[in-house]
Amino acid sequence: MLASFDFSVIANSWIYLFKVGMLFTLKLTVLAMLGGVALGTLLALARLASWRPLALAAAAYVNLIRAVPLVLVIFWFYFLVPYIAAWALGKAEPVKVGTFLSALITFTLFQAAYYCEIMRGGIQAIPKGQVHAAQALGMNYWQTMSKVVLPQAFRNMLPVLLTQTIVLFQDVSLVYVLSVPDFVGAASKIAQRDGRLVEMYLFVALIYFVMCSLLSWLVRRLQRAYHVGS
């Protein structure tokens, strides 16, 4: 069976796959992770706010996003963002946002819901005695959060945040449905051009397996280094 395979297509295209496809995937993953963590932290603070309308609004957003398939959200934002941007800017025609920016907005807003729950758990795990001690020293709410609570929450939740980032790295492959040249999309173009779908998709699966395994190993090392869960 293997005799019928032609793996030369990989040797002839791997530079393009990594220079174009993987670079796009990693760029989108990193930017969406940074935006998702920032927005997720704000959502976590909103969910823990004493003002009930704000907490309910944040909870509704998180529950809505987590209940909708990601591929559907990708299509939503790809087609709706140009019209939303036109409405916000007061223009009559849809604004050309571009597939990368549309995908970045989608993944940032989607992943923020998951990072929110991670950060909420990390914040709630901080002993309330530390909060009371910070308030006794004269710190206000934002000083307490930025200097006492959030640094510890980020440290404790770092392995879990990285685990969610691995999931994000895998989910980015869904932009393939928009014909975006991510790693999967680039491999698909070559596979269809040369008629070597099996070889290319096996190669893509192997690369994802190796990279995700290495990242998972890194997460385990961090868990042991920080004694998370011990």
204 pLDDT more than 90:
yes
Backbone angles phi, psi at 182, to 5 degrees: -75, -170
Percent over 90 (pLDDT), the chain = 40
Residue 12 pLDDT class (50, 70, 90 cuts): confident
* Nearest in space to 5 (alpha carbons), one of 187, 202, 186: 202
Percent over 70 (pLDDT), the chain = 95
* Nearest in space to 41 (alpha carbons), one of 141, 129, 115: 115
1 pLDDT more than 50:
no
Residue 4 pLDDT class (50, 70, 90 cuts): low
DSSP 33-63: HHHHHHHHHHHHHHHT-SSHHHHHHHHHHHH
Rounded CA gap, 2 and 5, in Å?
Answer: 5
193 pLDDT more than 90:
no
Residue 229 pLDDT class (50, 70, 90 cuts): very low
Q: Looking at residue 177, what DSSP letter applies?
A: G
| Distance spanning both ends of the chain, measured CA to CA | 49
* Domain boundaries of the chain, sorted by first residue: 2-226
Tell me the C-alpha to C-alpha distance, in Å, between residue 26 and each of 80, 124, 148, 208: 25, 31, 32, 12
Residues sharing a CB contact under 8 Å with residue 204, sequence separation 6 or more, in sequence order = 183, 184, 187
pTM score of the predicted model: 0.86
Q: What is the mean pLDDT of residues 116-139?
A: 87
Predicted local confidence at residue 226, as pLDDT = 65
The per-type count for the chain, helices as H runs and strands as E runs, is: 10, 0
pLDDT tens digit string along 67-112?
999 988 888 888 887 888 788 888 888 888 788 888 898 999 999 9
Residues sharing a CB contact under 8 Å with residue 130, sequence separation 6 or more, in sequence order = 148, 149, 152
In the numeric block, which tokens belong to residue 89? Answer: 């800017």
Average pLDDT, the chain: 87
Predicted local confidence at residue 22, as pLDDT = 94
CATH number among 1.10.3720.10, 3.40.50.880, 1.10.357.10, 1.10.238.10, domain 2-226 = 1.10.3720.10
* Nearest in space to 9 (alpha carbons), one of 187, 173, 179: 187
Predicted local confidence at residue 3, as pLDDT = 52
Rounded CA gap, 182 and 112, in Å?
Answer: 22
